């Protein structure tokens, strides 16, 4: 059985709309929502493929836009809370790890690496900055805990933000994502943030979901009962790419490119795509 606290079963959707990495590009996200709002229908599902924060300077505004669009969709008759899913991306994973920095054996090195990956924008959104974080990371565990506690407090004062981070899942799927002895063509779709290693069991993917895997580009067969695996961020920035077995939705949002949303059928067929 798949752990429902980490993975989301989308049931039997009519269509699935999958939003690529946003990287706090709130203007693009708002335009995409304007377009998507007129197309979304009860029976559809909406999956944000992670990395909606970080990099860009409008982290708080991006979270507010996500929450506002969620409220608008749930006001439509026939919509349910489970129709909207948020996946954990690398940026969200870093933020959660940063909030537990006092437990890390090497906080200084971890902070330096996270800042190089764009977590500074999220720090600023919740009341700190890269310079302060770098200094604190050299301090005692008690002072680091005081620092991370302050970040949590600012986040709690922003209605809905902490709840959204708590709702993050590792992946979403329709059909069975579990590997079988005979890897055959199936009828399901798996949605991940950045990667998937088809040589590992589903429950053993670890951080391949949000940090990606070079193996993703080499997937050349169906995995378990899945027809296609969809991801929202390519760490190598290879662009929007569809193969027989995979779909990368990322078109470079946050790095100068547009924000893309792909609409796919429960059998993995690409029905249409939106850009903002």
Strand segments, DSSP code E, in the chain are 7-9, 16-19, 45-48, 84-86, 171-174, 188-192, 226-231, 241-242, 246-248, 260-264, 270-275
Tens of pLDDT, residue by residue over 220-235, are: 988 887 899 999 999 9
Where are the domains positioned within the chain?
A: 7-89+169-275, 91-162
Q: Is it the case that residue 180 has pLDDT exceeding 80?
A: no
Cβ atoms of 211 and 173 closer than 8 Å: no
Tell me which residue has tokens 């055959």.
184
Task: Evaluate whether the domain defined by 7-89+169-275 bears CATH number 3.60.21.10.
Answer: yes
| pLDDT at 213 (0 to 100) | 78
| pLDDT at 203 (0 to 100) | 85
Mean pLDDT for the stretch of residues 7-11: 93
**For the whole prediction, is pTM greater than 0.75?**
yes
Q: What is the overall mean pLDDT for the chain?
A: 93
Mean pLDDT for the stretch of residues 42-60: 95
Cβ atoms of 145 and 76 closer than 8 Å: no
Q: Is it the case that residue 249 has pLDDT exceeding 70?
A: yes
CA 104 vs. chain centroid, Å, equals 24
| pLDDT at 214 (0 to 100) | 83
């Amino acid at each position: 059985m798949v752990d429902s606290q980490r993975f989301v079963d989308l049931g039997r959707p009519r269509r699935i709309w999958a939003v690529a990495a946003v990287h706090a590009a709130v203007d693009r996200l708002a335009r995409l929502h304007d377009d998507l709002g007129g197309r979304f229908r009860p029976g559809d599902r909406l999956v944000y493929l992670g990395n909606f924060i970080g990099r860009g300077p409008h982290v708080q505004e991006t979270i507010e836009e996500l929450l506002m669009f969620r409220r608008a969709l749930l006001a439509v008759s026939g919509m349910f809370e489970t129709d909207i899913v948020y996946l954990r991306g690398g940026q969200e994973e870093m933020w959660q790890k940063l909030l537990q920095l006092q437990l890390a054996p090497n906080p200084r090195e971890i902070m330096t690496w996270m800042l190089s990956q764009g977590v500074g924008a999220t720090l600023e959104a919740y009341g700190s900055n890269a310079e302060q974080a770098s200094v604190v990371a050299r301090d005692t565990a008690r002072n680091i805990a005081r620092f991370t506690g302050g970040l949590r407090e600012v986040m709690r004062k922003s209605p809905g933000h902490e709840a959204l981070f708590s709702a993050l899942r590792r992946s979403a799927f329709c059909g069975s994502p579990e590997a079988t002895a005979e890897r055959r063509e199936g009828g399901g779709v798996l949605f991940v943030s950045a990667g998937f290693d088809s040589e590992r069991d589903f429950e053993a993917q670890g951080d391949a979901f949000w940090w990606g895997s070079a193996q993703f580009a080499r997937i050349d067969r169906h995995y378990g009962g899945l027809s296609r695996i969809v991801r929202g961020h390519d760490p190598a920035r290879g662009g929007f790419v569809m193969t027989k077995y995979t779909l990368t939705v990322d078109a470079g949002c946050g790095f100068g490119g547009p924000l893309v949303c792909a609409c796919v059928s429960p059998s993995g067929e690409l029905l249409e795509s939106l850009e903002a």
